[in-house]
Amino acid sequence: MILSVIGARPQFVKAAVLSNAFKKQGIVEEIIHTGQHYDYRMSEIFFEELGLPGLNINLNLGSGTHGKQTADMICGIEDIMVKNRREITHILLYGDTNSTLAGALAASKLNIPIIHVEAGLRSFNRTMPEEINRVVTDHLSSLLFCSSEEGEMQLEKEGITKGVHIVGDIMLDAFKIYGAIAKERVSLTDILSENLIGNYHLLTIHRPSNTDEKDNLEQIFDAMSSLSTNIVWPIHPRMKSILKDIKIPSNVNLFEPFSYFEMMTVLAGANKVLTDSGGLQKEAYWAQKPCITIRNETEWVETLHNNWNILTGPDSRKIIEAVNIKVEPGSWKELYGQGNTAGKIIQIIRDQLS
């Protein structure tokens, strides 16, 4: 049995692809949801919309400091592993969240082999909790699935060469599968008012380095107010309290968090994307929407070619300049595989289990 640990909305999307593929192939899997993301529109709606196989266990741990949250997750995951040790062949982890780190630490103490999907990514910014999570998880893993050659090369630099496989990106599978479904089920007019359609950029901001630093947030809003285009911003639940005492520019339109189908629909209708997210950088690229990343580094370095993704940090002048840069449509090229990552992962896992 494979024990998969998920806890945040990007992981729900990835698991929807791979877990459904496991089910079709007759591979036994149980899923633990740590509860890291617990708001309905950040969690439950994804399971309903994407048809994720039913959760076996929800730890319902919620938020907290990084240390407390991770410690609680380790205890909860370890308890489940101990009770089911004989049946578990591997633990499967996605990306770089606290849920991922907790799963890796708990499994390593019990000598359970670890599978890491999205291995080898590095921002080289150790002030980001995600960077610590991904580095530790990679060094504890037995099977490491990389999205591109960049990941494989980085792992080799760190002395990790065994069990490394380039399989493409599982999010591209999701983008192709669920993007097509979203077109059929969700209309842009169901989400946005008529005056926004055709004249908006999509914004997502959630990283503490941007949201918890008042000067940085003011720089971002200053840039937004200087743009002639409307801004569509689905806000993270934690932003509500932060925004109480901040004046929002008149061209910035706030929304509750979008479901995955809604996000795909809004992304398809956007002119450009402004974000500090990791996953949305890739989705913007696959949708052929120029992206401005409001960070000083990115794990997805391949997206930077020909200005399809531009790093600005929370600098008003740089953000405005990046938005005004014209990107040549003909310079786009395929990145991170062809959307058949789940099949590649399953074949490699089968080889391991046989």
Query: At CB < 8 A and 24+ separation, what contacts does 105-109 make?
Result: 105/70, 105/74, 105/136, 105/140, 106/73, 106/74, 106/77, 106/78, 106/81, 107/77, 107/81, 107/140, 108/140, 109/78
Tokens coding 267: 């992304």
Has 206 been annotated as catalytic?
Answer: yes
**Which segments of the chain are extended strands (E)?**
2-6, 29-33, 57-58, 90-94, 114-119, 143-146, 164-166, 200-204, 230-234, 252-255, 273-275, 291-293, 309-311
| Measured distance CA(50)–CA(31) in Å, rounded | 15
**Token pair 């609680």 in the structure block, residue:** 72
| Measured distance CA(132)–CA(270) in Å, rounded | 33
Beta bridge partners of 2: 29, 90
| Measured distance CA(61)–CA(84) in Å, rounded | 21
| Measured distance CA(142)–CA(165) in Å, rounded | 11
198 conformational bin, left if phi > 0, alpha if psi -120 to 50, beta if neither? left
Three-class secondary structure of residue 5 per DSSP = strand
**Residue in 139, 165, 206, 236 annotated catalytic:** 206
For residue 149, the one-letter residue type is E
In our burial notation (b when 16+ CB lie closer than 10 A, e otherwise), range 11-24 reads: bbbbbbbbbbbbee
Catalytic residues: 206
